Amino acid sequence: MNLYAKLQQRAARGWPVRVLLIGAGKFGSMFLSQVPHTPGLDVAAVADLDPQRAREACRRVGWAEELIEATDFVDDSLRAIEREDVEVVIEATGNPAAGTRHALAAIAAGKHIVMVNVEADVLVGPLLARKAQEAGVVYSLAYGDQPALICEMVDWARSCGFEVVCAGKGTKYLPEYHASTPETVWGYYGLDPADAAKGGMNPQMFNSFLDGTKSGIEMAAVANATGLTPPPSGLAFPPCGVDDLPRVLRPHNEGGVLNHSGTVEVVSSLERDGRPVFRDLRWGVYVVFEAPNAYAARCFREYGLITDPSGTRAAMYKPFHLIGLELNVSVLSAALRGEATGAPTGFRGDVVATAKRDLKAGETLDGEGGSCVWGKLTEAGESLARGGLPIGLAHGIKLVRPVSAGQPLSYADVQMNEQDATLKVRREMEQAFAGRAAAAE
């Protein structure tokens, strides 16, 4: 509760927190919109493949021309990381390979790294977090994005002495969405393709939100950061409103949908027949927790908490998240407290490329949100045992044998370039965490 006070102290000393933002897309632009209104926080540089686009993003979010002129806009992100006036690096490209490269460079340069790029975090984050700790810098998930907000709620519950039964988020989901492609996505969103194109909306990115991939990635990040474990069969996406969270999200032997207590799950804002769920949590996050004793359960009743039939489980939720508008919390927590707003502590969840349709040998995979595969949350031990192909590597590589619809892909199904730098880091992580991931299975 003293983060703002610490920032004021830095500002008063004329020593602002200086940031490098890599990637001036939607998330980065939302962060940029808050910078002029946060005394003591400065952007030393913005690195983007198109520096002029980044300048225009700053104008669009309300930056004054003098602030734009005082900021460096560059296309060489690795050189920008080396700048002496940069204290915190924000990686917001969304590209797993770029994110891995930038995080490693930041750690080597002794800079804190805030990983908006959850795709890279799930691919190699446990190793990056370990390397950051060894280097004495902070590696952090991005506050405002759902994984960090969920981690905060889990930490709150445990700090209060509650056992966490389940934690996660809401989304719009129907089973048919797993087969969605960039060509079909706008129909599911109820948007005209021409209007979407006019608005600069990327169909493949939006399709990754819809087809289950983004949910799998975010829940893997939560599992790796909190110690909660993935459901053995992957996410079930049960329809559930906020009033039903403790009733639905309890172990199945007690009438709920969970395989076990201490897991992650995503709830759907749609019933399976397409009807909207009453008081849905589409934009929010939640934690279901359990009273440790009868007295605490009685307090639940006395203070109006909605519980499951046993009266021992209740839920807290946050109905919205503001992504980049809240990112300052991660930046300032890293710089002023030396703390992450969520970071991997192990390798527990992986996201494996899964065939959307019957795939033929010789086809080239088009990655997250594409027409070939979607990303399914999988226990890390199971993924390693079968050589599962991470969704973060399933782009621009050819199949060497056919894969049936609904089947997970493995390394053996594709032609990998063993000299690829990102693959080498992933292999290093798999070796570093293989024993622990298998033991956690």
User: For tokens 């709920």, what's the residue?
Assistant: 256
Q: Assess if residue 389 is contained within a domain.
A: yes
230/246 same-domain check: yes
102/68 same-domain check: yes
Quote the pLDDT of residue 146. Answer: 97
**Tokens, residue 354:** 């899964």
246/309 same-domain check: yes
Of residues 193 and 437, more confidently modeled? 193
Q: Assess if residue 196 is contained within a domain.
A: no
Distance between CA 151 and CA 139 in Å, rounded?
14
Write the pLDDT tens digit of every residue in 357-402: 999 999 999 999 999 999 999 999 999 999 999 999 999 999 999 9
Distance between CA 401 and CA 412 in Å, rounded?
9
156/136 same-domain check: no
pLDDT tier at 438 (50, 70, 90 boundaries)?
very low
Quote the pLDDT of residue 436. Answer: 65
Total domains in the fold of the chain = 3
Q: Assess if residue 203 is contained within a domain.
A: no
Quote the pLDDT of residue 437. Answer: 58
Q: Assess if residue 403 is contained within a domain.
A: yes
169/278 same-domain check: yes
Q: Assess if residue 41 is contained within a domain.
A: yes
Quote the pLDDT of residue 196. Answer: 85
385/259 same-domain check: no
Q: Which residues contact 422 (CB under 8 A, 6 or more apart)?
A: 96, 97, 100, 101, 123, 124, 392, 393
The answer to whether residue 222 scores a pLDDT higher than 70 is yes
Read off the DSSP letter of residue 336. I
75/222 same-domain check: no
Q: Assess if residue 388 is contained within a domain.
A: yes
77/43 same-domain check: yes
Residue 98 is which amino acid? A
Whether 114 and 106 have beta carbons less than 8 Å apart is answered as no
Q: Assess if residue 199 is contained within a domain.
A: no
331/416 same-domain check: no
The answer to whether residue 197 scores a pLDDT higher than 90 is no
Domain enclosing residue 361, as ranges: 349-440
**Tokens, residue 78:** 């690795």
233/104 same-domain check: no
Write the pLDDT tens digit of every residue in 409-436: 999 999 999 999 999 999 999 999 987 6
Lowest mean pLDDT among 72-81, 255-264, 402-411, 428-437: 428-437
Write the pLDDT tens digit of every residue in 342-358: 999 999 999 999 999 99
Distance between CA 132 and CA 108 in Å, rounded?
8
- Does the pTM of the predicted model rise above 0.85? yes
279/252 same-domain check: yes
* Beta-bridge partners for 377: 351
264/361 same-domain check: no
The mean pLDDT value of the chain amounts to 96
Q: What is the CATH number of the domain that holds 62?
A: 3.40.50.720
